[in-house]
Structure 1
Amino acid sequence: MSQFKSELESVKPEWKGGAPKHVKAFFTCRTGGVSSGPWGGPEGIMGLNLAFHTGDVRSCVAMNRRILSGCLPSEPKWLTQVHGTEILHADDVADAPQADASWTTTPGVVAVVMTADCLPVLIADREGRIVAAVHAGWRSLADGIIQKTVAKLRDELRGEGDFAVWLGPRIGRDEFEVGGDVLEAMKAHLPQAEKAFRAANQPGKYFADLALLARQALEASGIPAESIADCGLSTFGDPARFFSFRRDGEKSGRHAALIWIEPQNHP
């Protein structure tokens, strides 16, 4: 997994089949900002928490967002994520509306989702005509947000589109313990969902593989396995680099997964 450091430490996608033309994307790490305490880095300082709703000092979050924006062609199109299936045109987003995915065809418009164990899914047409960011928590994943997003992108390209997909850092398959309700919800929309679950030590509990479930949803949408790249990184398992809601509780910070089409005049 390649890294880059401009102003921030981040994880960049390694796209399968080559990077989409003119598309830029990255996932923020835990450090590089001004938050402290549980929203800080491993030593309790210099955290890059990007969410206002976690209890962090608002001025610190605002500064973290300004630091992030300095690495981007424009201010990200922030959403208020509600574990649903609403998908918005990022160009029209203002004041953080409720949604869990956004898309754009406009160079310089930055689509973004925030996560702290949920799976971020970044999608790009290989010709660089359209991109999307998806927040795939288990509820939205079970309700079809990935399939809905792919269908929307194809619709915008009038049925065309050779898509590349990147699955970002999320809670690992050996750490995401869930109940039988999650298994049943997934099986309702993904016929092979049971392959992504294995029994945990407690009766009626399972470990779920979010990345495998996302792969099933993508392949059901006609995106082949050879177009899906997975970073394989666990937020829960790497406290030095990542926040984790399951590990740290309500005061966990949030990361950003961002994607945009590079403006032609960008240096």
Structure 2
Amino acid sequence: MTLEILTSDHLGEIRHGFFTRRGGASSGVFDGLNCGTGSSDQADIVTTNRTRVAEAMGGPLHGVHQVHSAEAVVAADPETRPRADGIVTDRPGVVLTILTADCAPVLFHDAQAGVIGAAHAGWRGALGGVLEATLAAMETLGATPGATRAAIGPTISQRAYEVGPDFLDTFEAEEPDALRFFANGADGKYHFDLPGFALRRLRRAGVDAEWTGHCTYSDPARFYSYRRTTHAGEADYGRLISAIAL
């Protein structure tokens, strides 16, 4: 099956893609293009999937060991995966990648400076400042937020992201206008708008940004979803990959 690669017109002609699960070699609960080396999928199959992505992107994949942090690094050796959730480069041929399964994958491009970035923004990282940290790392290479465009790829939408009152309290303690990203749900619960919150942080930082509008939870044929897997009682889940290269 051919790989399905979603792109954002917002990023222009820069080589990038939000890969769906279609076109991969994995089977069972991982059926499709599972690129998560941390999953319990067969390692050789994950390697096959990642090789297909590298071939589609035209270079070796550079990623990070994602820990829901607010840390961002400059890409170095593709065999090294530092503990961080953002990665940047100004080197042609370097393919930056982020893995997600409900969290927001964010790709950045400053066309004037020739700098790109990629970030993994779950609620914790987004609240902690991973998007701003990625922009700061890009600035060390000559980028500026005002010249940077960003696209948020497939992520869990507000209608599928139910949270409890403690979650809301955490946000209110950090963000004065946090309530705007929460809608009332059933039984005292709320629904959190992760892509909306990420867009808010990006735009507040001076970045022109948009969300592709794809919900990972509601489209099992195309996307992996940690939350959907949890609700279904499955043992594990695949990881989607998003990539960008100069």
Change over 3 Å in CA distance of 1:146–1:248 after alignment to 2 = same
Percent pairwise identity: 33
- Matched residues in 1 for 2:164 and 2:104: separation? 18
Deviations 1:171-207 (A, max 9, x none): 111001112333233334433221011121022x211
Checking the alignment, whether the CA contact within 8 Å between 1:176 and 1:208 is kept in structure 2 is yes
Checking the alignment, whether the CA contact within 8 Å between 1:55 and 1:251 is kept in structure 2 is yes
- Matched residues in 2 for 1:67 and 1:93: separation? 16
Matched, 1:234 2:234: no
Ranges in structure 2 where 5+ consecutive residues have no aligned partner: none
SS at match of 2:61: coil
| Range with greater deviation from structure 2 (105-114 or 179-188) | 179-188
- Note the C-alpha offset of 1:143: 0.5
- Note the C-alpha offset of 1:242: 0.8
| Range with greater deviation from structure 2 (184-193 or 107-116) | 184-193
Checking the alignment, whether the CA contact within 8 Å between 1:85 and 1:100 is kept in structure 2 is yes
Total equivalences in the alignment = 242
Matched, 1:55 2:46: no
Name the structure 1 match of 2:157: 172
Change over 3 Å in CA distance of 1:53–1:92 after alignment to 2 = closer
RMSD: 1.9
Checking the alignment, whether the CA contact within 8 Å between 1:144 and 1:189 is kept in structure 2 is no
Ranges in structure 1 where 5+ consecutive residues have no aligned partner: 41-46, 262-267
- Note the C-alpha offset of 1:160: 7.0
- Matched residues in 1 for 2:137 and 2:20: separation? 29
Matches within 5 A, 1:216-231: 216-223=200-207, 227-231=208-212
Q: Which amino acid aligns with 1:19?
A: G
- Matched residues in 2 for 1:12 and 1:184: separation? 35
Indicate which of 7, 11, 31 corresponds to 2:6: 11
Q: Which amino acid aligns with 1:122?
A: L
Deviations 1:220-255 (A, max 9, x none): 2122xxx21211000000011111110013511001
Checking the alignment, whether the CA contact within 8 Å between 1:117 and 1:235 is kept in structure 2 is yes
Matched, 1:162 2:162: no
SS at match of 1:31: coil
- Matched residues in 1 for 2:161 and 2:49: separation? 28
